[in-house]
Amino acid sequence: MLTHESNFSGQRAAPLVIHGARYASGPQTSAYAFIQIAGDRISRIVGNSSSSQYSASAGAGIDLSGFFVMPGLINAHDHLEFSLFPRLADPPYRNYIDWGEDIHQKFGDVIAQQRSIPKPVRLWWGGIRNLLCGVTTVGHHNPLWPDLQGENFPVRVVRKYGWGHSIALGGDLCAARVSTPADYPFIVHACEGVDEQARQELWELDRYRLLEARTVLVHGLAIGYSGIALIRDRGASLIVCPSSNRFLFDALPDLSLLGQIDNLGLGNDSPLTAEGDLLDEIRFALRFCKISTQTAYRMVTEAPAAILRLEDAEGSIEEAGVADLIAVRDTAQDAADRLATLSMNDIEFVMIRGRVQLASEGVLERLPPIAKKGLEPLVVDGAMRWLRAPMQKLLSATARVFAENTLRLGPRTIRVSESIEARYAF
């Protein structure tokens, strides 16, 4: 297991107070407030009108004046160990089976090179890829590797779930579902393609009695009107990954149709097929799938929280809820419209479970010393970010495979700057 030494308990011992910022109380509502964090929770939200009753004794302050605080995003679907892969395909394909067979024939050398990097290292880069774009919770569609369960991992990974890959590649899905606790979501790829085989997968899942309220389908590209009626009748949920679908199959999910499903989430998939990170996926869905900004906002906050059965008010900012927060420069827009404009470079602050996980250089200067402890520098497409992760260790672990100037997370080049780190002593 890859570890990162940091005095987490020390940082959490004293309350923190975020002040000076506007915060999103909903996709189209906001207010200026003091947000007090105690442990991993938001203990109080005090509006500016009551600020005279609120004192600095409430905790160490983080002045985010000029920023807009939003709930941490939820990436409903990712394969974290593929974080360093380039896009691999010779499209278009009929279905995911054809794609998988083709890339192993044509890109075997690239796959072997990537797999020579230890899996824990690849998983950590997957966590960092999500952290950089403001994701605080990730649904990982593969086994729950020990590193993903550690407190030190860069983002929260959903732990309570069952899964199978797909009808064609998932082995005994019935056994996998039976072994999944009744209150956990059961996640499976389905209808990922444009041919009859992809279309029939939904009905096959139903014949096996695998389509029910806790079933979470991923992709659903081939689902038609009758399939929507079946999903609604069974109470199942769906996660879509539009940029992957267009890349592999030259087709897009019909979100005007799929939007009839009660719980519809957005996933980033992996760099093997996706356009970029989750923020790139949001902008892609807005542009090509013609959804509203309010719909996009719900697909990365409220909807995936319900789909993945999260229990701590993830995807919202609420008293007694988990302290998962991001901050971007305030442009006076509401949260839904601001989300539609964001890219990785806009994310300047990320807090997960009450702990600062990411800070831009500007925000770093505003943090109390206890909140800075354990942060290490990373340069992403020329922009400096400070992350709570063992950046030097991770770079060293990948250096034998990639030169520093060729290490990429999706379309973005990354490097660690020792000269920058030397300027600070945390």
Question: Tokens 């996640």 sit at which residue?
Answer: 187
Token readout for 43 is 């203990």
Task: Flag whether pLDDT at 48 surpasses 90.
Answer: no
pLDDT value for 405: 60
**pLDDT, average across residues 156-180:** 97
State the DSSP H helix or E strand holding residue 18, giving kind and residue range, or none if neither: strand 16-19
pLDDT value for 11: 45
Task: Flag whether pLDDT at 287 surpasses 90.
Answer: yes
Look over the chain and give the mean of its residue pLDDT values, rounded to a whole number.
92
Token readout for 370 is 């206890």
pLDDT value for 415: 81
Question: How does DSSP classify residue 269?
Answer: B
**pLDDT, average across residues 5-17:** 59
Question: Phi first, then psi: what are they for 74, rounded to 5°?
Answer: -115, 115
State the DSSP H helix or E strand holding residue 10, giving kind and residue range, or none if neither: helix 8-13
**pLDDT, average across residues 402-426:** 68
Cα–Cα distance for residue pair 368/27, rounded to 1 Å: 30
Question: Cα dist. 185→158, 258, 315 in Å?
Answer: 10, 19, 18
Name the CATH architecture for the domain at 74-307: Alpha-Beta Barrel (3.20)
Question: Phi first, then psi: what are they for 207, rounded to 5°?
Answer: -60, -35
**Which residues make Cβ contacts (< 8 Å) with residue 143, sequence separation at least 6?**
none
- What is the DSSP track for 43-100? EEEEEGGGGGG--GGGSEEEE-TTEEEEEPEEEEEE-GGGTTPPP---S--SBHHHHH
pLDDT value for 395: 87
**Which residues make Cβ contacts (< 8 Å) with residue 335, sequence separation at least 6?**
24, 26, 27, 28, 30, 68, 70, 297
Cα–Cα distance for residue pair 348/365, rounded to 1 Å: 12
- What is the DSSP track for 136-170? EEEEE-S---GGGGSTTSSSEE--S-EEE--TTTS
pLDDT tens-digit profile of 312-330?
A: 999 999 999 999 999 999 9
Quick one: angle between helices 225-234 and 196-207, nearest 10?
20
Question: Cα dist. 250→95, 152, 253, 290 in Å?
Answer: 11, 39, 10, 17
pLDDT tens-digit profile of 353-391?
A: 999 999 999 999 999 999 999 999 999 998 999 999 999
- Residue 9's Cβ-side half-sphere holds a number of Cα atoms within 13 Å equal to 0
**Which residues make Cβ contacts (< 8 Å) with residue 83, sequence separation at least 6?**
122, 123, 125, 126, 128, 129, 270, 271, 409
Least confident range from 4-18, 25-39, 158-172, 260-274: namely: 4-18
pLDDT tens-digit profile of 75-121?
A: 999 999 999 999 999 999 999 999 999 999 999 999 999 999 999 99
What pLDDT band is residue 404 in, cutting at 50, 70 and 90?
A: low
Cα–Cα distance for residue pair 275/388, rounded to 1 Å: 26
